[in-house]
Structure 1
Amino acid sequence: MSLFLFMLLVSILNPVVSHKSCDFPAVFNLGDSNSDTGGYASAFTPPTSPYGDTYFHMPARRFSDGRLTVDFIAEAFGLPFINAYLDSVGTNFSHGINFATAASTIRLPISVIPNGVFSPFYLGFQYSQFEQFKVRSQMIRKQGGLLAGLMPKEEYFSKALYTFDIGQNDLAEGFFSNLTIQEVNASIPDIINKFSANIKNIYNLGARFFWVHNTGPIGCLPYVLIAFASAEKDPAGCLKPYNEVAQYFNLKLQESIAQLRNEFPSAAFTYVDIYSVKYSLFAEPQKHGFELPLVTCCGYGGEYNYSAAVLCGGTITVNGTEIFVGSCDNPSVRVVWDGIHFTEAANKFIFDQISTGSFSDPAVPLKQACQS
């Protein structure tokens, strides 16, 4: 068989082989704490040590002991970590920007910081920030000077990868507002409609390549396990009804992405089933090199080593002795970092799985997400 015929056969049997890797010059991210690289820290109170200690050896404005999935995505394309839009000191946006802020929702939350627990920077606000940034960054480039080189080139906006990881807090807002499971489910279509509307707005500003994470198994996280302890548990020890809400959210999200794909055939939309990857860490931890998946690494108290009364990096007085809430001995084998977020080791595992395309619709690897 000639080399030409062989390569033709391979491309037919495995079309992905014939695709070139995408050369994304920038990453623009919108989301919540799962992908926040400093937005919350700039606007409110930055996380303190031991946050960031594993990789950065200092607090790095992230809600983990190290890198997040979005950091690994940037690294995969040879790009520097993307800085938060709200950063004001020494910030370089030339290869992307991060609008994600911890505690952010898709819809405008009922109560916001400082009187509530959710961020005012919900997805619609993040879109507005992006809209302003696109205009202002090009004004700065045209003016020239030192700051011009810190802004992305105009063509990057149509060539960049746009990543999204948001929705968990919309579900949490419903749960912690004492809505029933049925009431939270009933809110999901509107939440997804708001998400889709923002995607369309960003598309209209020139975005063409979308990488969208679904939401994870919220019923496996200690902050939910503690708050709703009486709920039915599945074999992994996670709260079954709360995970079922997340699964319904993901179903409607996948349907909306399919609709967007039909509506905008010139764009590439990749729906990423991050839920399945995260759940595997709770269901089969030993298989993946992890242990004690439901137990918080940096926390204090109870079955899950977590209490909302004292969080990671805080202090608590027990029998007259002040105790610092620090990291477990080996975060590299732990799944949950602070009762809400994942460890760097878990984030790396998640990235390694989703970047292959095995959990994507369509099934394209991350580096070919411009061709889905």
Structure 2
Amino acid sequence: MSISVISAQNFGLPYLSAYLDSLGTNFTHGANFATAASTITLPPSIIPGGGFSPFYLNIQYFQFNEFIPRTQFIRRQGGIFANLMPKEKYFAEALYTFDIGQNDLGAGFFNNKTVEQVKASIPDIINTFSTNLTSIYNLGARSFWIHNTGPIGCLPYILANFLSAERDAFGCAKPYNEVAQYFNYKLKEATVQLRKDLPLAAITYVDIYSVKYSLFSNPKKYGFEKPLVACCGYGGEYNFGSVLCGGKVTVNGTDIFVGSCETPSTRVNWDGIHYTEAANKVVFDQISSGAFSDPPLPLNKACYRNA
């Protein structure tokens, strides 16, 4: 379960439907353009041959650009699908949420780039993000809720693949988290500039890194255990290996289904990359208050621009 799903629950709204859902989907409460393994910049390899989504941020923007006139065309046509489309005024009134960037860092790390090389690529990644957000603004969007990226160095897929990386006091890979922190520094810089460039926008920067890192630094506070170990996976110290969650592994001639741990509600990490529903709930409860936001507005006030 993602934070956007928990957000919908919190506000008493139905879950957002994917843009690529078939005809008949109700988009009156919004649409989700995100895909698994998506990046801001063009990824080095694409599923199924590679590990990343073909729907990187530029493509998501083009899809949104097409979504607006298509929905209004359907509304004008009338009929049974008209009321499933958003009204034109909703596009200016909507809150546009972004949680993207971690996969750009991961793509660099797993494309044989050094930590220093990945760090050097971040300004270009952030520039691409700013360009896309500006393009969405030019289509009429006015309210933006932007997550920074989380502590990638605490995730099992990094820990299991980069065993020699220096660990911090909580067992996370320190240099990889430092790259994430630099990404967040440049992203916050970009939001400051975007506020100047887009005077009608309400832009909220959300420090999701700090909240997520607290799950690893103080898991007992939230009722969690084994924060660095994947709940659904197989192999090694971090329960993450060549066979992923939902796959099969042969042990002593017997096929074993790679399934969930017994108590997912007590775990931080689900499959080596994503967080569990329980962890996402903790994160949402903290960030929705505005305590980790700049400006410090709760989520239900994120559409209000400071005068």
TM-score by length of 2: 0.97
Note the alpha carbon deviations across 1:148-184, whole angstroms, 9 max, x for none.
1111111100001100010011001110111111111
Amino acid at match of 2:120: A
Q: Does 1:91 align with 2:22?
A: no
Note the alpha carbon deviations across 1:127-165, whole angstroms, 9 max, x for none.
000000001000000000111111111110000110001
Q: Does 1:225 align with 2:136?
A: no
Q: 1:368 aligns with which of 293, 301, 305?
A: 301
Q: 1:312 aligns with which of 238, 245, 251?
A: 245
Once the 2 structures are TM-superposed, how far is the Cα of residue 90 of structure 1 from its aligned partner? 4.3
Q: 1:351 aligns with which of 275, 284, 297?
A: 284
Q: 1:127 aligns with which of 44, 61, 70?
A: 61
Q: Does 1:201 align with 2:148?
A: no
Distance 1:326 1:288 in 2: 24
Distance 1:89 1:208 in 2: 28
Please list every run of 5 or more consecutive structure 2 residues that lacks an aligned counterpart in the other structure: none
Distance 2:150 2:24 in 1: 33
Once the 2 structures are TM-superposed, how far is the Cα of residue 115 of structure 1 from its aligned partner? 2.6
Q: 1:266 aligns with which of 177, 195, 200?
A: 200
Between 67-76 and 95-104, the greater mean CA deviation after superposition:
67-76
Distance 1:285 1:346 in 2: 10
Q: Tell me what 2:100 maps to.
A: 166
Q: Tell me what 1:78 maps to.
A: 12
Q: Does 1:118 align with 2:58?
A: no
Once the 2 structures are TM-superposed, how far is the Cα of residue 89 of structure 1 from its aligned partner? 5.5
Once the 2 structures are TM-superposed, how far is the Cα of residue 265 of structure 1 from its aligned partner? 2.1
Distance 2:81 2:260 in 1: 39
Between 319-328 and 106-115, the greater mean CA deviation after superposition:
106-115
What is the number of equivalent residue pairs in this alignment?
A: 305
Q: Tell me what 2:211 maps to.
A: 277
Q: Report the aligned-residue RMSD.
A: 0.9
Asked if the contact 2:24–2:84 (Cα under 8 Å) also holds between the matched residues in 1, the reply is no
Q: Does 1:184 align with 2:118?
A: yes
TM-score by length of 1: 0.81
Q: 1:149 aligns with which of 83, 89, 104?
A: 83
Q: Does 1:234 align with 2:181?
A: no
Between 68-77 and 145-154, the greater mean CA deviation after superposition:
68-77
Distance 2:257 2:12 in 1: 38
Amino acid at match of 1:317: T
Asked if the contact 2:269–2:276 (Cα under 8 Å) also holds between the matched residues in 1, the reply is yes
Distance 2:24 2:92 in 1: 26
Asked if the contact 2:195–2:203 (Cα under 8 Å) also holds between the matched residues in 1, the reply is yes
Distance 2:79 2:12 in 1: 26
Note the alpha carbon deviations across 1:64-102, whole angstroms, 9 max, x for none.
xxx210011222332110011111164211110000011
SS at structure 2 position matched to 1:227: coil
Amino acid at match of 1:245: V
Asked if the contact 2:44–2:111 (Cα under 8 Å) also holds between the matched residues in 1, the reply is no
